[in-house]
Structure 1
Amino acid sequence: MFYREFFTGLVRIAVIGLGTLGAAGCSVAQQDSFTLITELPPGFKFKGEASYVPRTGENCTVPARDGRNYPGKKFFEQKLSNEAQTAQFEIPLTSNEGGCPLVLDNFGYQVDAKYGAARLDLGRAFTGISFQDGSAEASSPPPVLVLQKQCEWLFRTAGPDRYIEKILKCKSVATPDKTGDTIIKGPMQRVQFAEKTIKVVFSMAEEETPYMGDTWVKFPEGWKRCMGKSLDDPYAFCRGNTTDFKPFKMPDGRDCTVYPHCTE
């Protein structure tokens, strides 16, 4: 799982987990590692996968999977919580599993957020970053690098009963010192992150907006779904008609005419 786009729709961070770690179960970072701190809003969870390759100059290969043992991959997880939560992970930059000297090559992760009680009532966003060899003498991140990430819900109707579904969209926002935008660019040089800390802070926007333009009309009491050609029109673009609307269903099954308050 690897996505090269950095902080465009999702956070791009240099992280890798060692097993499944909690906020209280971390050791002091070693010279070939850095610390990842994640702050999540209520209803979020965090899961990632990191991949290793043989160190430059080595002729060995990444050992094959053996049962549940993945020598070339490491995983971490911050489980779903109804409360805001903070977790801390020690992030190794190298590995020697299976006898082959390995280095961190890329990392992909997903962040999930719940919007309803059903199992599939969630939004998901992905991102990733690549790593490369480098020099310790190059420009280095500060001891603690803070990255801000703002997420929002985009809502739409789906299916013949027009149930509300939501899409999670996340984007980077500038920190006060703007270090996140000026330092994290392109592939990371591993050596620059030794003994450093990356703190990623997620927040959720208070206001929700339609997933697609010209499908809802906003009124003081909330959003109304445009009628389109008929009740059965799955696209239902407004096309200038701001007087005819159709009902929809909330994720919990309520019949509604205005979002998000359901009734006018």
Structure 2
Amino acid sequence: MKHMQHFNRHCLQLLYISVMAWAVSGCSLLPTESFNFQAELPENFTISATTYYDAASGESCPGHKVVKSEQPKGTQLIELKLPLTERVKGCSRVLKSVVLNIKGQWGKRDLDMSLQKGVLSIRDEPTETTRPFPASGPLVFQGQCQWLFRTSGPNRVIRKILQCRALDANGVVQKRLVGGSMLREGLAGRTVKLVLTEAKEEEPYFDRYWIKTTSGWKPCKGNWGRDIEELCVSPPQFKTFKMPDGRDCTVYPNCTE
């Protein structure tokens, strides 16, 4: 009889331990609230998302947590699941912003690239710029990336700088960076999509340093005597420059007139 009582107590202990282990495991497997981020990109562009978390209301957590999510190479349509909350060392944190790291490749070499950022902000209260969620489908932010060219160094070699700006509902380029703000309420489980396009024509990085002709853009020679292009004078004088492949040119992008 005593043996049976001992056996029953042992079984109950094992059962209790199993239930507690299942409960703990179950809690650890409970899904964290998140939203889906999608990005539709031009060719030769990549993107990564850096998420920033701050202390939840009523808690004091020093600093913030940063998580990077990288895009698989060669993918023009990506999707990332971004958590809205994080718990680190017993401290609850909520997502405040997502910095979008946009990389464009303009040439064959690894150095022939340029970086630009965008920002998605998560608001607890609506503002004039906060975008409402549609009844169905993703919340879409649109942007356009523009390549700006200039010369660099004593040989005046062409380099390109990436500039990505938001588009309004009518497709007009804005001064602000790609992205925008949205409400935290209702964000869980929804999809936020960034659609990036590439401007058809490149433009000079410096305003009034190049003159557009029927053959292409020509870099000016000014009064400062510098190696790179200068502010155009009247009548304009022009400089030669080099393409990244080493060609000596007089107009961009056609090289020769």
Normalising by the smaller structure, the TM-score range is: 0.7 to 0.9
- Corresponding position of 2:204: 210
Q: Please state whether the residue corresponding to 2:238 is helix, strand or coil.
A: coil
RMSD: 3.0
Q: What is the TM-score with the length of structure 2 in the denominator?
A: 0.74
Structural mapping, 1:64-75, within 5 Å: 72-75=65-68
Equivalent of 1:95 in 86, 96, 99 = 86
The residue type equivalent to 1:117 in the other structure is K
Q: Distance in 2 between matches of 1:161 and 1:139?
A: 47
Equivalent of 1:116 in 97, 107, 115 = 107
- Corresponding position of 1:10: none
- Corresponding position of 1:41: 42
Q: Distance in 2 between matches of 1:146 and 1:107?
A: 15
- Corresponding position of 1:173: 167
* Long gaps (5+) in structure 2: 1-30, 173-177
The residue type equivalent to 2:51 in the other structure is A
1:49 Cα offset (Å): 1.3
Q: Please state whether the residue corresponding to 1:109 is helix, strand or coil.
A: strand
The answer to whether the Cα contact below 8 Å between 1:36 and 1:91 also exists between their aligned partners in 2 is yes
The answer to whether the Cα contact below 8 Å between 1:140 and 1:192 also exists between their aligned partners in 2 is no
Sequence identity of aligned pairs in percent? 38
The answer to whether the Cα contact below 8 Å between 1:49 and 1:74 also exists between their aligned partners in 2 is yes
More strand, by proportion: 2
1:186 Cα offset (Å): 7.2
- Corresponding position of 2:133: 141
- Corresponding position of 2:23: none
The answer to whether the Cα contact below 8 Å between 2:141 and 2:180 also exists between their aligned partners in 1 is no
The residue type equivalent to 2:46 in the other structure is K
Task: Give the paired residue count.
Answer: 217
- Post-superposition Cα deviations, 1:219-259, rounded to whole Å, max 9, x if no partner, equal 111111112237645352212233x3111011222211110
Q: Please state whether the residue corresponding to 2:252 is helix, strand or coil.
A: coil
Equivalent of 2:248 in 251, 255, 259 = 255
The residue type equivalent to 2:81 in the other structure is E
Compared with structure 1, are the counterparts of its residues 50 and 139 closer, same or farther at alpha carbon in structure 2 (3 Å cutoff)? closer
Structure label with greater radius of gyration: 2
Q: What is the TM-score with the length of structure 1 in the denominator?
A: 0.72
The answer to whether the Cα contact below 8 Å between 1:216 and 1:226 also exists between their aligned partners in 2 is yes
- Post-superposition Cα deviations, 1:69-103, rounded to whole Å, max 9, x if no partner, equal xx82211111453xx61001112111123332221
Compared with structure 1, are the counterparts of its residues 78 and 162 closer, same or farther at alpha carbon in structure 2 (3 Å cutoff)? same
Compared with structure 1, are the counterparts of its residues 151 and 187 closer, same or farther at alpha carbon in structure 2 (3 Å cutoff)? closer
The answer to whether the Cα contact below 8 Å between 1:146 and 1:175 also exists between their aligned partners in 2 is no
- Post-superposition Cα deviations, 1:178-199, rounded to whole Å, max 9, x if no partner, equal 9xxxxx9975432231121111
Q: Please state whether the residue corresponding to 1:191 is helix, strand or coil.
A: coil
- Corresponding position of 1:57: 58
The answer to whether the Cα contact below 8 Å between 1:147 and 1:175 also exists between their aligned partners in 2 is no
The residue type equivalent to 2:218 in the other structure is K
Q: Please state whether the residue corresponding to 2:71 is helix, strand or coil.
A: strand
The residue type equivalent to 1:50 in the other structure is T
* Long gaps (5+) in structure 1: 1-29, 65-70, 179-183
- Corresponding position of 1:128: 119
Report whether the alignment pairs 1:246 with 2:247: no
Compared with structure 1, are the counterparts of its residues 236 and 187 closer, same or farther at alpha carbon in structure 2 (3 Å cutoff)? closer
Compared with structure 1, are the counterparts of its residues 86 and 187 closer, same or farther at alpha carbon in structure 2 (3 Å cutoff)? closer
Q: Distance in 1 between matches of 2:205 and 2:166?
A: 19
- Corresponding position of 1:234: 228
Equivalent of 2:156 in 162, 165, 177 = 162
Q: Distance in 2 between matches of 1:73 and 1:262?
A: 45
Q: Distance in 1 between matches of 2:179 and 2:223?
A: 47
More helix, by proportion: 2
